[in-house]
Amino acid sequence: MTIGGDAFYGCKAIQKVDISDIGSWVSTNFSNPASNPISISNHIYMNNVELRDIIIPDGPIYINNNVFYNAKYITSLTIPKSVEMINDNIFYGCTSLKNVTSLNENPATFIGKEDPTIMNNVFKNATLNVPSKAISKYKSEEWWKLFGKIVGNVPDTKPGDVNEDGSVDISDIVAIINQIAGTAKYTNSDVNGDNNVDISDIVAVINIIANQ
């Protein structure tokens, strides 16, 4: 979905933006900052609860233009493994942001033409948390390396931990069933590594549980 340029231009009285789905929000293309009401309100709510620690669910592959532009009260942001591309002004105006966590071992690519110095205040004050085996990759990427502190404290995912809750149990079997049914998507659902998600992955999880 695309919101046209300057859709909320001059709407200075907007104080609250309440959304229902953060995954859909980050996939929305806001043509410019004035097309996103958060650039005015500086606050983002979901189901009437203010979001300060945002966890984007697994699924989106692209974090779109201006989605958090001027969201001054976000303190942390977790980016899922599914994200491959990020618009390069994602952190602009997020002056309270202290922790960014990227779960992907392969750093997402920043897309756009912005000068990274526009977000120097965020890069300076926020810590980037990444998988331990991926620290060198993030430190060599043009944008990610600008974070003042990059630490490898994201634990590696256990084989069979489809929903990434830290354990392998019946909930991971349910997650695979949901993906097969088309109601969810997980990056770790191909448990047996055959490039398909089907009943054989359920069997693989059962075997892992049986041998724990």
What domains can be seen in the chain, in order of their start residue?
A: 2-154 (3.80.10), 170-210 (no CATH)
pLDDT at 107 (0 to 100): 94
On the question of pLDDT at 163 being above 90, the answer is no
pLDDT at 99: 93
How far is the C-alpha of 75 from the C-alpha of 181, rounded, in Å?
35
CB-hemisphere CA count at 13 Å for 14?
21
Proportion of the chain above pLDDT 70, given as a percent? 98
Identity of the residue numbered 59: G
pLDDT for res 118? 79
pLDDT exceeds cutoff 80 at 117: no
pLDDT at 134: 92
d(CA 188, CA 169): 14
Task: Say if residue 108's pLDDT is above 80.
Answer: yes
- The pLDDT assigned to 94 comes to 92
